[in-house]
Amino acid sequence: MGKGQELYKKAKTLIPGGTMLLSKRPEMFLPDNWPSYYSKAKGCKVWDLEGKEYLDMCIMGIGTNTLGYGNDEVDAAVIQTVQNGNMSTLNCPEEVWLAEELIQMNPWAQMVRFARSGGEANAIAIRIARAASGKDKVAICGYHGWHDWYLSTNHNQGDGLSGHLLPGLDPSGVPKNLKDTVFPFHYNNIEELENLIKNQDIGVIKMEVVRNFGPEDNFLQKVRDLATKHHIVLIFDECTSGFRETYGGIYKKYGVEPDVAMFGKTIGNGYALTAVVGKREVMEAAQKTFISSTFWTERIGPTAALKTLEVMRRIKSWEIITENGLKMQRGWKKLADSHQLNISISGIPSLSTYSFAGENALKYKTYLTQEMLKMGFLASTNFYASVAHEEAYFTSYFNALDQVYRVISECEKDQKNIDELLDGPVCHAGFKRLN
């Protein structure tokens, strides 16, 4: 075992689950053999605890670093903030400047609240929306974090989150009296939402604007019209989709505006900052309840976000990462076709993913990660694009992947046995967005 594997072995005895984030557990990639920890990250390169360098052609900090790891301009702004003091009895002016920028970006909105994680932002938005609507019941479509209000869906009849988070998720620790307060509906199924509104006293609709595929038959506008007609607060969760295809929310692409939107992940290029942006008549309901936290007032998050947004505007980062994502999708398809492999590609370009067909899909995924790691790549069956992914990196990546696909193709033709090629256990299925 290397240093990273040894440390993760210790971590599992000290930290429930081994890590703070399900999506970063080594078992999701290469059980027993994933490097697990990093010593340095820059651009789209990552160094493990033993100093070995890898090209990150995988999830780039779970999609947080669209400007690349350690962006010089963002880091310089943060370092200046550290030198001037990150925390004080007084408030930092950056949060006001950032609120102004977000309102300018979303002209339908007038007020903003900040947090430091996507789950917090989702919980804040739900609290405010429930206070504004005066109703408890929420209709959801998509992934919205880990808090009680969301996981309580699985206290209803059946496994409600199987189409939104993970199938078979046990809501242990979530109060059972939250049953029948949150109801899921499926993307592009307007009739399902109409029935919820008809049969339940829905006060809030919360949804991801785009999931593995986009809206059909004017779906988003129909949701907007339903919310308006029934005086329901409409929330767009853009923690993942924001700044991927537009400067701001991907809702702009479809011309449908919410009452509240959340932004996270990319907004601080790896530094912790999330925002809840909304209409004044909704957001002022925050004053009727209690939403407050010490570290929501620290200075690094807003500082990083302001500089990140500045860099994004200047270079039009959303255009670059979209093109890089399309480049990856085209490359996957070309290689798969050349080796007669059946893969299914999904996701918006900058958050691309694919899966192998057949009963050996997870084994092939594990083998791919295993062999690409040996050739100096952090790789799986997904790719979160950044502006740091240069043409030369794609070339070397596809050259390496070509070798892996060739072997997988031989396994499909029964010329090789995939079980004999694996150095360790098969990876876990893990979290993925489902439709």
Tens-place pLDDT, residues 70-83: 999 999 999 999 99
The residue-averaged pLDDT of 250-269 equals: 97
The residue-averaged pLDDT of 321-350 equals: 97
Q: Is the full-model pTM beyond 0.85?
A: yes
Query: What is the rounded average pLDDT for all residues in the chain?
Result: 95
**What would the pLDDT profile of 161-171 be if each residue is shown by its tens digit?**
766 666 666 78
The residue-averaged pLDDT of 108-135 equals: 98
**What would the pLDDT profile of 97-109 be if each residue is shown by its tens digit?**
999 999 999 999 9
pLDDT surpasses 70 at 434: no
Q: What's the pLDDT score for residue 157? A: 73
Strand order in the sheet with 137-141: 111-115, 274-278, 260-263, 233-238, 202-208, 137-141, 182-184
Strand partners, 56: 378
**What would the pLDDT profile of 182-221 be if each residue is shown by its tens digit?**
999 999 999 999 999 999 999 999 999 997 789 999 999 9
Q: What's the pLDDT score for residue 160? A: 65
Opening angle at CA 12, ends 11 and 13, nearest 5: 90
pLDDT surpasses 70 at 57: yes
Strand order in the sheet with 351-356: 343-346, 351-356, 382-384
Q: What's the pLDDT score for residue 168? A: 64
Taking the C-alpha atoms of residue 199 and residue 137, their distance in angstroms, rounded to an integer, is: 11
Q: What's the pLDDT score for residue 164? A: 65
List domains and CATH numbers for the chain.
3-70+316-421 (3.90.1150.10), 72-315 (3.40.640.10)
The residue-averaged pLDDT of 338-362 equals: 96
**What would the pLDDT profile of 11-49 be if each residue is shown by its tens digit?**
999 999 999 999 999 999 999 999 999 999 999 999 999
> If you compute the radius of gyration of the chain from its CA atoms, what whole number of angstroms results?
22
Q: Tell me the percentage of the chain whose pLDDT exceeds 90.
A: 91
Q: What's the pLDDT score for residue 227? A: 98
**What would the pLDDT profile of 138-159 be if each residue is shown by its tens digit?**
999 999 999 999 988 888 876 6
Q: What's the pLDDT score for residue 422? A: 98
Q: What's the pLDDT score for residue 376? A: 98
Q: Tell me the percentage of the chain whose pLDDT exceeds 70.
A: 96
Q: What's the pLDDT score for residue 237? A: 98
**What would the pLDDT profile of 301-329 be if each residue is shown by its tens digit?**
999 999 999 999 999 999 999 999 999 99
